[in-house]
Every structure is written in structure tokens, then in C-alpha cells.
Amino acid sequence: MRQVIVYRDEDGYWIAECPSLKGCISQGQTKEEALANIKEAISGYVAALEVDGLPIPEETFETFMAVV
């Protein structure tokens, strides 16, 4: 299980990032599409690490909300 951040960019696309997997980012025209795409990206990322015999980073990301 991985935490994902989802937000809308200035072009209206939804961006999905998995902070615990450096550089693992995807997008979609809808939030649902972005989430489906990041799930695929996470699977591919982990599979590539396994093929290369590299360690899979632990999930260490925490979220906090700051009201400003």
C-alpha cells in the first residue's frame, strides 16, 4: 500500500504522485484516470526495482494539513 498525493495543475489535469517512490508520478484528465495511472506506475516502478535486484523503499510518507 502506498500513499498518493493528487492535485490539479494549472492546465486542469490531475497529477498523482507517490512520494515514497522518488520520481513516481502520473496524470490524467480526471481524478479517476490519474489514480488508475499512478497505480500502474507504482506497479511498474516496483517491478523494475525487483528485476534490477534493488530494495523497494518503505512507505514513510506522512500527511499534515496546515491552515494558513
In this prediction the pTM is 0.86
Average pLDDT of span 17-40: 97
Per-residue pLDDT tens digits for 34-55? 999 999 999 999 999 999 999 9
Which H/E stretch holds residue 6? strand 5-8
Looking up cell 499512478 gives 38
8 Å CB contact between 42 and 50: no
Domain ranges for the chain, please list them.
5-51
